Chain A
Amino acid sequence: KAGVTQTPRYLIKTRGQQVTLSCSPISGHRSVSWYQQTPGQGLQFLFEYFSETQRNKGNFPGRFSGRQFSNSRSEMNVSTLELGDSALYLCASSLYIGAGNTIYFGEGSWLTVV
């Protein structure tokens, strides 16, 4: 079955702009989570959605937001981009929400802010 699909794979934005990243989970998966990966901070949790509701949020400023649609697809948005937002943004999906759950990552969206 198809894996987690993220679009776009690569993008370059200018400081102050906003960006929207998209994630299509594995078919049948209802939980989608987002992570930011940078060389300095490693993988950090952004937020998790299940049944169109945000269930958990990491320690990121309000410029980072997301949503989930009825078909489980998810988008995340970063407004007023800063140079430090340059990172690999990873989406992961899982069947349900809860401990011991196996999550599957997409290949990520590489964002460069100049």
Chain B
Amino acid sequence: TQLLEQSPQFLSIQEGENLTVYCNSSSVFSSLQWYRQEPGEGPVLLVTVVTGGEVKKLKRLTFQFGDARKDSSLHITAAQPGDTGLYLCAGPSNAGGTSYGKLTFGQGTILTVHP
């Protein structure tokens, strides 16, 4: 069974601070995705990383996929209150050697950015 472990579980910071969220696994993933979920809403895809060592930037958010494709990180620079939400990493699960749309999710990181 492929598991994804996220850390930290909770993060409470002041506006303007930087932060990093980690997503680790003992299994290799063909790709990893990061989602953000706001209260009462479904998760929204932020980025998909596919190549080991890949770095993607989305405004103040920087995503990195580990060289061995077993881990990923999300770094937010100068966090803003609008960044508040649940951040989830997810990767496709393998079933009998064929990947379907089934995703394995990490437990999530609840980020609160105070003004």
Interface residues of A (CB under 8 A from B): 4, 31, 33, 35, 42-45, 48, 50, 55-56, 58, 90, 92, 94, 97-108
B100 touches A98 (CB 8 A): yes
Q: For the complex, would chain B's binding face be called helix, strand, loop or mixed by DSSP majority?
A: strand
Residues of A within 8 A of B30 (CB): 99-100
Cβ of A55 and Cβ of B44 under 8 Å apart?
Answer: no
Q: Which residues of A contact B88 (CB under 8 A)?
A: 42-43
Asked whether B80 is an interface residue with its Cβ less than 8 Å from the other chain, the reply is: no
Closest to B100 in A: A56
Of A45, A94, A100, which is within 8 A of B31 by CB? A100
B: contact size bracket: 20 to 34
| Partner of A33 from B35, B102, B108 at Cβ < 8 Å | B102
A–B Cβ pairs within 8 angstroms, 11 of them: A4-B42, A33-B103, A43-B43, A48-B102, A56-B100, A56-B101, A94-B101, A97-B101, A100-B92, A101-B92, A108-B41
